[in-house]
């Protein structure tokens, strides 16, 4: 039987992807492990590998196609000994009835390929580390009013994140089924049924519609720039974070005079490569990552993630770093940061940042982590607060290092001071525990020799 190659789910937040490029053409022989296509997600560009041998009978989705739903048939592979023309003719039927879009994938999910939709089968082409989409939940939901509401799994999840009762949304899908676009319309106050009778659970107040916002400005005085996948994902995740995580903030000033002196001395004495260039060049941010990683080891009760059933207490400090990209940001992670030298952290970060900006990171390189750093010091920002990125319980916002007047032994002196603000999830980290963590960070960052022993 022909093998349907499906749009894989490459990250937990991926719902659609762009088919950037086909690396094989119809009629080409495909071997296991061959890279056959490139898929663009909201965060990165991933390669799709074949896991079976055969002939690429039909390309269903041409390259350059945007917003292809997860689990939709993108190509058909004819197995060994199978008639290619017959397999290609069957592709039209597969394309006419694409698989339903599942909920967000999980890192432990199997390849998103199947001989029959939506059941995965071992012969389909899929990325080497592609996450498997969980089985879709039943496509109905019963609201508190008792009337049965038909909604897709994706629509239910989006409605839950937005705090909207699906029972109040007018469905535009088959037989009145609520689908994703209906939820998006409901967020703008469109397509909502009249308010239910007293006793119905309250819903989130809708924001202004696009038309209401545009009506406030003169026609032609603005340019409409459509949201891309990355910007939509950032908006959804950070809105969810601020709505569901009780944030509190702790700010402290750190004297980084010793750090700057140590950094200069280390960089001057760095060994050279064959081209005469230093094999590493430490930044202040490298010290910040190491200090936060060690502080989390000193205060292990703060190195946690909140779940409704239990607290996840992490053994290692996996530190994410916010990296600005055109139109958004991504947070690559330095794993086991507490065990790595400053030079290793520095070189690893340079590699992660370069590949992040080229959209070449693998999902495991930016998913998860136990805490994160957001540094705006290079922009001259003195201090700010950062939004926690789940499943983290903390994030450290780092401001610029600058000369300030300080009082020492009754005398006013100049010192290099850097302000940092720790955002904490109050469900997992209480005030005293957060103060202990940021205090441990201050001790380490002000005494850099403690980070290299």
Which residue numbers are catalytic?
Answer: 426
Contacts of 204 (CB under 8 A, 6+ apart): 162, 163, 164
CB hemisphere CA count around 426 (13 angstroms)? 9
* CB burial of residue 294 (10 Å; 0-12, 13-18, 19+): buried
Using alpha carbons, list the distances in angstroms from residue 449 to 299, 445, 446: 19, 9, 9
In Å, the largest CA–CA distance within the chain is: 90
Number of residues assigned to the chain: 453
Distance of alpha carbon 449 from alpha carbon 408, whole angstroms? 22
Name 178's bridge partners: 151
Opening angle at CA 236, ends 235 and 240, nearest 5: 115
Number of Cβ within 10 Å of residue 168's Cβ equals 20
Distance of alpha carbon 152 from alpha carbon 64, whole angstroms? 27
Distance of alpha carbon 165 from alpha carbon 448, whole angstroms? 52
DSSP state of 126: B
Strand 394-408 with 371-375, pairing: parallel
DSSP string across 130-153: PPPPPPPPPSEE--TTS--EEB-H
Axis-axis angle for helices 284-298, 342-357 (nearest 10)? 110
Phi/psi at 369 (5° precision): 90, 165
Question: Is residue 51 left, alpha or beta, with left meaning phi > 0 and alpha meaning psi from -120 to 50?
Answer: alpha
How far does the chain reach from its first CA to its final CA, in angstroms? 62
| Structure tokens given for 408 | 């020492």
| Structure tokens given for 435 | 């103060």
- 81-110 residues labelled b (16+ CB within 10 A) or e (exposed): ebebeebbebbeebbeebbebbbbbeeebb
């Amino acid at each position: 039987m022909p093998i349907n190659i499906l749009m894989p789910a490459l990250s937990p937040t991926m719902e659609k992807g762009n088919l950037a490029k086909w690396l094989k053409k119809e009629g080409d022989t495909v071997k296991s492990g061959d890279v056959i296509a490139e898929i663009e997600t909201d965060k990165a560009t991933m390669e799709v590998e074949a896991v079976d041998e055969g002939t690429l009978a039909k390309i269903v989705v041409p390259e350059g196609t945007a917003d292809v739903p997860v689990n939709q048939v993108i190509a058909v592979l004819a197995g060994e000994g199978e008639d290619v023309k017959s397999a290609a003719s069957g592709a039209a039927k597969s394309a006419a009835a694409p698989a339903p879009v599942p909920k967000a994938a999980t890192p432990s999910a199997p390849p998103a390929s199947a001989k029959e939709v939506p059941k995965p089968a071992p012969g389909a082409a899929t990325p080497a580390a592609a996450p498997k989409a969980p089985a879709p939940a039943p496509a109905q939901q019963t609201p508190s009013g008792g009337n049965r509401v038909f909604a897709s799994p994706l629509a239910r999840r989006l409605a839950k994140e937005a705090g909207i009762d699906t029972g109040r949304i007018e469905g535009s899908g088959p037989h009145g089924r609520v689908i994703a676009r209906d939820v998006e319309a409901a967020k703008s106050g469109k397509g909502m049924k009249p308010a239910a009778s007293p006793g119905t659970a309250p819903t989130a107040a809708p924001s202004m519609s696009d038309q209401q916002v545009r009506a406030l400005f003169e026609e032609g005085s603005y340019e409409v720039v459509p949201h891309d996948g990355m910007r939509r994902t950032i908006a959804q995740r950070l809105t969810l974070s601020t709505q569901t995580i009780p944030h509190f903030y702790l700010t402290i000033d750190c004297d980084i005079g010793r750090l700057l002196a140590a950094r200069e001395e280390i960089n001057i004495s760095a060994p050279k490569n064959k081209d005469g260039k230093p094999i590493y060049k430490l930044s202040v941010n490298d010290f910040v990552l190491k200090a936060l990683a060690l502080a989390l080891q000193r205060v292990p009760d703060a190195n946690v993630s909140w779940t409704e059933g239990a607290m996840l207490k992490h053994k290692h400090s996996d530190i994410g770093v916010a990296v600005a990209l055109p139109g958004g940001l991504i947070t690559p992670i330095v794993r086991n940061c507490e065990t790595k030298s400053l030079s290793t952290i520095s070189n690893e970060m340079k590699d992660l940042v370069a590949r992040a900006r080229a959209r070449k990171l693998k999902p495991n390189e930016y998913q998860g982590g136990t805490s994160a750093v957001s540094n705006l010091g290079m922009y001259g920002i003195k201090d700010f607060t950062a939004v926690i990125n789940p499943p983290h319980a903390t994030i450290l916002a780092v401001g610029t290092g600058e000369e300030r007047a300080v009082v020492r032994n009754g005398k006013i002196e100049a010192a290099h001071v850097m302000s940092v603000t720790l955002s904490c999830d109050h469900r997992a980290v209480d005030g005293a525990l957060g103060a202990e963590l940021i205090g441990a960070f201050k001790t380490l960052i002000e005494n850099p020799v403690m980070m290299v022993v």
